[in-house]
Chain A
């Protein structure tokens, strides 16, 4: 502590920056802008990837069976339901839920326009989602022709949720058949699906009569507590025939995200956008620090003539970079939070400030400022104390 006290000196970096408030503001505006750009681009990217698995994450499952022909949630292929029953033979498997998964045409009850909606069909007695509130609601599905509508579906599907809450009987047409909305659930739209509805297997099959008998798209498997999902998955994969693939729940989520990551240009576009923000920020900070060092060159030379080490002057520039990074990051973070809120409200996309992204952007800004400071330091080599006499 006393060593620190002895080392304390004039906060030169801070004073160099703050005694030129206009230049400081320009620098901070530039850094914040770069930070906000990075927050936006990375937020959109992660949000879109997360949005592709909003429903996936809700399933009450430790393992998931899918057809090997399934490439993503927008092109689910069927597999024999028997495979799921066979999985019950494993000692660790405690329960199963066969799930139908397909896209159907929903008619907007207000405008009569049709739009593709994701429909999940399952036996109402089986658990589907981990959320216990849902277990109550699914009771009503035992009646034929009843569906649960996702209240967070996009507004193009009609004011279904509003009408339902007002107590009106909401009926619409799905796949050419009349259905009645018997409740609301809150799932959220995803990349592939603008809206969701849940129904019983029986209703589902009546809406899609061409579904081959005994064929399902998704098999949820619950393991007994304490069982190792990875081990169970590889064991099942070995025993079951080749017409199914076994995923852990995390693997199932990752499989879907990976499809959007690798089979679309979304990841590339948004990462490139974030990269642009980084480059713009670098240019701004470098300009500011370089002209700052240039303007103060005679003063740096004076300090060297007084006996200050070159390294301690380099430290001054480095601390300027560090200060700019911290001061520029804070408004970027705050603005990012606000914009994320706006995006969530406008698009229903699950975009939120998470720690890894906050750290990523801070690291980028830090690299940006320290890299620029390092480049600006080269100018200090021009400070020749012999020239100031």
Chain B
């Protein structure tokens, strides 16, 4: 199991402004599985993603990610675990001062025990596999939206994650590019045996999922 969530509750704010965003969420994602999560905005999808991604402290419930319990985990444990989780954001969040190749290498640099050249070669290999072999030395500034998102995918996968979390990766892309990017993501993740949990609003990409989940008001309401 890549993700195992049981009875997860989460609140924002405190005192009278305290608001519950997750209400007893149960979720399981098997290794290598591609799961899409949809739902109206504000229903808690992103919060769930940040909790599974070890970016936030779990308040109540159980979250096991890649065999590690995240409830009561220390900051260092979470930081260590994040190295095995690839993340793709709504914005590409590339480092503006680095070239495409260097951005991907920031992901490869997290791998232990590899020499500089080996890591650089891996970065190039990943960029080739997302179809950007000719754009190695371009800055994010000079790349199109779809290209940037593909660099972001290469960066996430270069760290050889066992779980990939994506938050609306197609939001900033036109439909055709969005479709291409997501198909690429699915193919590469499956080659690696990497589980994918993707939040999306985009109805055109739902067919790539092994499983589709829908969230409403902090609950997972239907699983088919």
Contacts and interface: CB of A to CB of B under 8 A. Distances in A.
A55 interface: no
Interface in B182-205: none
Contact of B96 (A2, A299, A307): A299
A298 B93 contact: yes
Contact of B109 (A5, A10, A302): A10
Contacts of B155: 306
A20 B97 CA distance: 8
Contacts of B114: 6
Q: What interface size band does chain A fall in? A: 20 to 34
A309 interface: yes
Nearest to B165: A389
Interface in B40-89: 46, 49-50, 53, 55-56, 79-85, 87, 89
Given A306-B82, A307-B80, A307-B83, A15 B116 contact: no
B95 interface: yes
B159 interface: yes
B106 interface: yes
A168 interface: no
A interface SS class: helix
B159 A306 contact: yes
A337 to B, nearest CB: 34
A10 B100 CA distance: 12
B98 interface: yes
Contacts of A307: 79-85, 110, 159
Contacts of A296: 95-97
Nearest to A302: B93
B interface SS class: loop
Interface in B95-150: 95-98, 102, 105-107, 109-110, 113-116, 139
A9 B56 contact: no
A388 B82 CA distance: 15
A15 B82 contact: no
A121 to B, nearest CB: 71
B33 interface: no
Interface residues of B, number: 35
Contacts of A8: 116
A389 B50 contact: yes
Contacts of B84: 307
A306 to B, nearest CB: 7
A299 B93 contact: yes
A272 B221 CA distance: 71
Nearest to A300: B95
A314 interface: no
A6 B109 CA distance: 9
Nearest to A298: B93
A331 interface: no
B97 A389 contact: no
Given A19-B96, A302-B89, A6 B113 contact: yes
A316 to B, nearest CB: 11
Given A15-B98, A388-B89, A389-B90, A306 B115 contact: no
Interface string A293-319: 000101100111111111000000000
Given A306-B107, A389-B167, A6 B96 contact: no
A16 interface: yes
A15 B102 contact: yes
A11 B128 CA distance: 23
Contact of A389 (B89, B105, B107, B159): B89
Nearest to A301: B93
Given A6-B113, A9-B109, A385-B55, A302 B79 contact: no
Nearest to B139: A19
Given A306-B106, A389-B90, A389-B167, A6 B116 contact: yes
Given A305-B53, A307-B81, A389-B90, 9 more contacts: A2-B115, A10-B98, A12-B97, A15-B98, A296-B95, A302-B89, A307-B85, A310-B79, A389-B55
12 contacts: A10-B102, A12-B97, A16-B97, A303-B106, A305-B82, A306-B87, A307-B84, A307-B85, A308-B110, A388-B89, A389-B90, A389-B167
Closest A-B pairs by Cβ, 8 of them:
A307-B83, A19-B97, A307-B82, A386-B55, A8-B116, A302-B93, A15-B97, A386-B56
